[in-house]
Amino acid sequence: DIQMTQSPSSLSASVGDRVTITCRASQDIGTYLAWFQQKPGKAPKSLIYAASSLQSGVPSKFSGSGSGTDFTLTISSLQPEDLATYYCHHYNTYPLTFGGGTKVEI
Amino acid sequence: EVQLVESGGGLVKPGGSLRLSCAASGFSFKSYSMNWVRQAPGKGLEWVSTISSSSSYIYYADSVKGRFTISRDDARNSLYLQMNSLRAEDTAVYYCARSSGSVDYWGQGTLVTVSS
């Protein structure tokens, strides 16, 4: 099984900060990597697919990069509404797996 | 507008059974793979099962293989998860999710609690 390791597990940043979350796959997954945002008490929301493509309606302050085993999610200017836990997810092969999550606090 | 609405969750005793449903609308249900993903209280996301369009292929996580069965009814635009031999560790919010390559839409989830 492919293991997805996110870091950090939590972070605290200020409004306006640039925030970067990393995700590492235990083997090459090409660009079969997605990012999700989950606000407290809510269902996850899809942000990015294919490592760097924005889902429809997602603001451009979110961006993704990487390929192979190393990936990043960047929030260019953190806002209070970005308080959430962010998960990476590979869909390269089965079983599908998720990273452990990064809790972003303001 | 894509909508996925789960139902069927509740409290069940260990060893019991439960059937979850997911009603889909706003898209051509028969054309998409569908998934169940769960989240135990205070924990991260865990993929449970995937069924392709036309039910051509089905996959399960090892943790549920042999106990859970995913199915779909394209005429009713519905996805199902039959859960048997439930264990305490199956306690979670279960989400229905659509795949277009990756997961792109999620339902609001239904809570399953396994406890005596």
Q: pLDDT (tens digit, 0 to 9) for every residue of chain B, 116 residues total?
A: 999 999 999 999 999 999 999 999 999 999 999 999 999 999 999 999 999 998 999 999 999 999 999 999 999 999 999 999 999 999 999 999 999 989 999 999 999 999 99
- As a whole number of angstroms, the distance between CA A39 and CA A49 comes to 19
How is residue B68 written in tokens? 């859970």
Buried b (16+ CB within 10 A) or exposed e, B9-36: beebeeeeebebbbbbeebebeebbbbb
Q: Is A68 left (phi over 0), alpha (psi -120 to 50) or beta?
A: left
Calculate the CA B78 to chain-centre distance: 11
- The beta-carbon neighbor of A46 closest among B47, B62, B103 is B103
> Under an 8 A CB cutoff, do B95 and A99 touch?
no
Instruction: Report the amino acid identity of residue A80.
Output: P
> Under an 8 A CB cutoff, do B101 and A101 touch?
no
